[in-house]
Amino acid sequence: MHFDSAFGELAHQLPKGLLARMGLEQSAAQKSASAALPRRQFLKMSVASGFALGAYAHVAGAQSAATPAAALKAFEQPAAFVRIDKDGTVTVAVNRLEFGQGVLTALPMILAEELDADWALVRGVHGDADGAYVDPLFGMHLTGGSGSIKHSYTQYRELGARTRAMLLAAAAAHWGVEPAALRTESGKVLGPGGQSLAYGDLAEAAMKMPVPQKVALKDAKDFRIIGKATPRLDGRAKSTGAQGYGVDLRLPGMLTAVVMHPPVFGAKLKSVDDTAAKAVPGVQAVLRMPTDRGGEGVAVLAQGYWAAKQGRDALKLEWDSTAVERVDSVAQLASYQALAKTTGRVKFNADMSPLATAPKKISAEFTFPYLAHAPMEPLNCTVQLSGQGANAKVNLWLGTQMPGFDAMAAAKVLDVPANQVKVNVQMAGGGFGRRGVPTADYVVEACTVAKVARAAGLEAPVRVMWSREDDIKGGHYRPMHVHRAEIGFDAKGRVLAWDHVVVGQSIAQGTPFEGFMIKDGIDNTALEGLRDPYDVPMRLSVHHPKVNVPVLWWRSVGSTHTAYVMETLIDEIARATEQDPVAYRLQLLGDKHPRHKAALMLAVQQSGYGKRQLPAGQAWGVAVHESFDTVVAYVAEASVRNGVPKLHAVTAGVHCNLAVNPKTIEAQVQGAALMALGTCLPGAAITFKDGLVEQSNFSDYVVARMPDMPRMAVHIVPSADAPTGMGEPGLPPLAPAFANAIAQLTGKTPRGLPFKLA
């Protein structure tokens, strides 16, 4: 089960009332307020704010007088998504977080295509926690599961087409002709006798037109924006340093806070000596507070980050961790290895009797450590409280993948109605899953700091910032896993029996998604990508031990380890039976997986695999994997010198159906490949000793750097089918392709990540 399919099941099965309480639906107050907003007042608001069409979320239902309330949902109405200024500028609200994947360009491209907008005048902005900005498939606010384009492709096309239809209707009324007699082109309506009207001149009148329920969409052959390699709208700001992120926010009188978290997850404070901390210039308060997982910590509030950090460094604290587990990585690995020798909860249950008599066998154990997300922008959240009691209001500023969850969490901590919490979604400097936490841990922490600060007499806005060390030591890691596989096969590579056991913590356990993501005791995120697409007789089972380490999805979730195991073992069977690894895969794929074959063959053909002579000491490695409905194949060129592996070049074949923006897809594949390469490097692991995280910064938690980056060529399989996800699928097959090249050179497959060749 994919990350996104589990969320889809959650959205469909959770009671509606619970969705609303979790902040996943537009609240009743929001609905009634927007539906009751008189059209004249709406138009006044639009014009006064400089916008002729659309005033975004607070008027998401303003068109309901022209369209029956039951006919169109808030996320289907242009008012929440499109505004057209008098100068023709089209601003598109995006229902996702932009944290590097390019949605602030791609989603406006989709809408602008059907709108026939002048792309030079199109802009993108973030939506918020309003009900209009939910994922239209799941009915909740979510950026994740590589679902942004996949789930909103049709939605944004229809939004653009509805807006265009309203503009045509306004122009037709102006000229006294039928809309069918008109056409649109590059931000204008073209009329009889060579006349034209700019969208900016029509927008106010268009807002008075009924919103069409059904609209005709373009044929893909007529696209002029979709499918064109388009520079990102935020590219200039980011490349010049002008782009602001959540961490850059400044409010008048704002205080900055840093929190001393317990060194062992869930530990309590035994004693606090804050004398030296309070003496640091700029420190305004030192406050004891609860932290995540039942622990305790200390917040230091100051005028600026440096003063707050210096104050925290001056604290003298004693901790009590006697009531919590103190994890040790060596002992944990041993216990996982013992569990892997036993059958867990069974997912697939093929007959394993042929294993005993199989002419050829492979017995393999793989290990994968905890991984930190380590985005370039560490976690941060700014909280502003105003009013008291029934008049209390909360403003949050943060980069968040789940604004609805975060609004609900803030409301609970601060004891205010959820509709009194305003989430101002900020550009985020990466996340890889860490900004989408069901427990909203860092939002809860920021709101708790603001709450205790107010109780101490501090009324200022509070920006809570995590340092790099806080981030590396702060938990919510990709879970540690151990795999054990026993495979029997014949001389032709026909798999007779494959017994596979996985050991690793459940991501969903203890979250609001537990009842829907865990079936029969199995968290399917730990198993996704195992067996498929190869139709082999497999008994697949899993153990989910409980460990005092917070875990979370990490870019490509379970495929981070399952793809590695499957693709290196498939390669090993090919070598053991003296078959070309590409030919062997094609044989196993048969006719049932044309997208896998297309991606693999594109990478093979473009790389020159089998036709081009590699330099001495280099070898080819191949892998193909599907995640989030997208298939990515890699052909790698690698060497091993003095026991050190080096990745020289990678050719990618990508099947993501229609490529909305090929430039973004290329960037995502390159970024995912580099992130995957980082997992191969020595030092790419989070480890524990006596309950303490042993790593603290990039000096001892290794990530791939520019010198590690191989030459890369990204090729996309042409398709007109609806697009699938691209944020994560480029990651899983890179490490196994690299490992398979190493195995060609050394005769041994690295049994896990990071590589250990000694």
Strand order in the sheet with 644-655: 618-627, 630-641, 644-655, 711-716
Q: pLDDT of 128-176, one tens digit each?
A: 999 999 999 999 999 999 999 999 999 999 999 999 999 999 999 999 9
Query: In this predicted structure, what is the pLDDT of residue 1?
Result: 40
pLDDT bracket for residue 58 (50, 70, 90) = very low
Residue 533: cis peptide before it, omega within 30 degrees of 0: yes
pLDDT bracket for residue 53 (50, 70, 90) = low
Coil, strand or helix: which one is 291? coil
pLDDT beyond 80 at 69: no
Query: In this predicted structure, what is the pLDDT of residue 189?
Result: 98
pLDDT bracket for residue 565 (50, 70, 90) = very high
pLDDT bracket for residue 40 (50, 70, 90) = very low
Query: In this predicted structure, what is the pLDDT of residue 516?
Result: 86
Query: What backbone torsions phi and psi does residue 655 show, to the nearest 5 degrees?
Result: -120, 95
Query: What backbone torsions phi and psi does residue 70 show, to the nearest 5 degrees?
Result: -80, -10
Query: In this predicted structure, what is the pLDDT of residue 105?
Result: 98
Structure tokens, 69? 């309330």
Query: What backbone torsions phi and psi does residue 436 show, to the nearest 5 degrees?
Result: -130, 75
Q: pLDDT of 86-141, one tens digit each?
A: 999 999 999 999 999 999 999 999 999 999 999 999 999 999 999 999 999 999 99
Query: In this predicted structure, what is the pLDDT of residue 529?
Result: 95
Report the range out of 21-35, 36-50, 734-748 with the highest average pLDDT.
Answer: 734-748
pLDDT beyond 80 at 8: no
Query: In this predicted structure, what is the pLDDT of residue 512?
Result: 86
Inter-helix orientation angle 559-576/581-589, to 10°: 110
Residue 754: cis peptide before it, omega within 30 degrees of 0: yes
Q: pLDDT of 668-709, one tens digit each?
A: 999 999 999 999 999 999 999 999 999 999 999 999 999 999
Q: pLDDT of 484-501, one tens digit each?
A: 999 999 999 999 999 999
pLDDT beyond 90 at 626: yes
Query: In this predicted structure, what is the pLDDT of residue 293?
Result: 93
Q: pLDDT of 380-403, one tens digit each?
A: 999 999 999 889 999 999 999 999
pLDDT beyond 50 at 17: no
pLDDT bracket for residue 42 (50, 70, 90) = very low
Give the list of residues 6+ apart from residue 404 with CB closer than 8 angstroms, or none: 22, 23, 24, 129, 134, 140, 141
User: What are the boundaries of each domain within the chain?
Assistant: 3-240, 342-371+476-746
CA distance 533 to 596: 8
pLDDT bracket for residue 15 (50, 70, 90) = very low
Q: pLDDT of 281-317, one tens digit each?
A: 999 999 999 999 999 999 999 999 999 999 999 999 9
CA distance 57 to 43: 14
Average pLDDT over residues 343-360: 98
Asked if CATH classification 2.60.40.10 holds for the domain at 342-371+476-746, the reply, yes or no, is no
More confident residue, 89 or 8: 89
Query: In this predicted structure, what is the pLDDT of residue 71?
Result: 85
Query: In this predicted structure, what is the pLDDT of residue 468?
Result: 98
Query: In this predicted structure, what is the pLDDT of residue 513?
Result: 87
458: nearest Cα among 382, 390, 389, 384? 384
Cα→Cα distances 660→55, 83, 153, 205, 719, Å: 27, 22, 9, 31, 11
DSSP 675: H
pLDDT beyond 90 at 37: no
CA distance 568 to 733: 10
Cα→Cα distances 387→257, 269, 414, 416, Å: 22, 32, 12, 11
pLDDT bracket for residue 20 (50, 70, 90) = very low
Domain spanning 3-240, CATH architecture: 2-Layer Sandwich (3.30)
CA distance 732 to 293: 31
Domains 3-240 and 342-371+476-746 alike in fold? yes
653: nearest Cα among 608, 612, 709, 713? 713
**Residue 614, amino acid:** L
Ramachandran quadrant class, 102 (left: phi over 0; alpha: psi -120 to 50; beta: rest): left
CA distance 67 to 77: 10
Considering all CA atoms of the chain, what is the largest pairwise distance in Å, rounded to the nearest integer? 85
pLDDT beyond 60 at 502: yes
Query: In this predicted structure, what is the pLDDT of residue 51?
Result: 36
Instruction: Give percent of the chain above pLDDT 90.
Output: 89
pLDDT beyond 60 at 39: no
Q: Mean pLDDT for the chain?
A: 92
pLDDT bracket for residue 721 (50, 70, 90) = very high
